[in-house]
Amino acid sequence: MRVCVLALVAGAAHAAYPDRPIRMIVPFAPGGGADLTARVVADTLSKKLGQPVIIENKAGAGGVIGAAAVARSDPDGYTLLYTTPGQQMTLPYLMKNMPYDPADLRPVSQVSLAPSVLVVNKKLGVTSLPQLIELAKKRPGELNFVSAGIGASSHLNGELLQMLAGIKLQHIPYKGTGDAVKDLVGGNGDIAIDTVGIYTAFISDGRLVPLGVTTTEELPMLPGVAPISRALPGYDASPVNYITVPKATPEAVVQKLAGALQATIAEPEVKKRMLEQGILAIANTPEQMADLLRKEQARWRGVIEKAGIQKQ
C-alpha cells in the first residue's frame, strides 16, 4: 500500500509539472550567440509551459562550469542546460579532467542549428573553394586559418576541411572570436570557418569572400553560396544547440519539456528571430536528439584524434 501511495504522489507531482519557475543555464557570458538564442527560446517556452523560464549565465571553461552545475542539480525538470557541442560532443575528448560525466546530461530536444561559412580575405584572390584548394596545394603550410581557440568549432571545422581536401594549413588559435575576426578582416588571417552571423556584415561590404557553407543545402541568409560538400563530399559541420537535463529526470517530465520545446520551435516568430541571428530553428524528440548526439560524438572524436589535438 505504501508503495502505491508513493507512486500516486510521484505521478501527481509529474502531472503538475511545472508549478514554479524554471532555470535555463547558459554556460557562456551574456550577449554571445548562445545567450541570445537561448533567450529567444526561453521567451516562448515560458508561454508554452505556463511558468517563467529564467536565463542564468554560468560562464567559464568553454561551457564546462555551467554544464557541471546542471549535471549536479536536482533531476526534477526545473534546471535546464542550453547545450552547445562542447559540453557533450567535443570537450570530453579535449579536456583531461572533466568535472562531470557527459552521460550525466540527458538530451531533451534540439532547438537550433548554427550554420557556418567558409570565408577568405579578398587578398587571396580566390572566389571558389576549388581555387582555394588548388592554391593551398601549391603552397602547403603557407596559408593560415584562424579560430576562436583550440577545440572551438571554428578550429575543428578547419581540421575537417584539411582532411577532406588533402591540404595543409597553418592553424592560428585566438582567445575568442573577436580577435580572430579582427585579424582576418585586417589581412593577417587568410581563412576562417565560423558561424554565419559573425561574418555576414563583412561579406556584405566585400571585405571577405564566402566560398561555402557548412550545411548540406544552401542557406536563406546566404543565397548563392554553395555547400562545401558539393566540392568535398561528406563535409557537414554545423554546431547543434539543444536542451539537456540531469539524466535521472523523470520520463514524464522529459517528454512534457520536449513537447513544449517542439511547440516553441514551431512558432513562426521564433524561427524569424533565430534566422535574423543566422540560426536555423530545428526541434526533435529526446530519442532523435540522443541518436544525433551519439553520431556527433563519434564523428568529432574521429576528427580530434586524426588531427592529433592533445587533451589540455
**Close Cβ partners of 173 (under 8 Å, ≥ 6 residues apart):** 146, 147, 148, 149, 150, 152, 155
Domain locations in the chain? 22-113+239-307, 116-230
Here the cell at position 144 is: 593560415
**Close Cβ partners of 166 (under 8 Å, ≥ 6 residues apart):** 137
Here the cell at position 279 is: 540560426
Here the cell at position 3 is: 508503495
For residues 244 and 70, give the distance between their C-alpha atoms in angstroms, rounded to a whole number.
9
Say if CB 257 and CB 76 are below 8 A apart: no
Say if CB 242 and CB 289 are below 8 A apart: yes
Q: Quick one: 116-230 is in which CATH superfamily?
A: Periplasmic binding protein-like II (3.40.190.10)
- pLDDT tens for the chain, 312 residues long, are 544 543 444 455 567 999 999 999 999 989 888 999 999 999 999 999 999 999 999 999 889 999 999 999 999 999 999 999 999 999 999 999 999 999 999 999 999 999 999 999 999 999 999 999 999 999 999 999 999 999 999 999 999 999 999 999 999 999 888 899 999 999 999 999 999 989 999 999 999 999 999 999 999 999 999 999 999 999 999 999 999 999 999 999 999 999 999 999 999 999 999 999 999 999 999 999 999 999 999 999 999 999 999 988
CATH fold for domain 22-113+239-307: D-Maltodextrin-Binding Protein; domain 2 (3.40.190)
Q: Where are the alpha helices (DSSP H) in 109-250?
A: 129-138, 153-165, 177-186, 196-204
Could you tell me the pTM of the whole model?
0.89
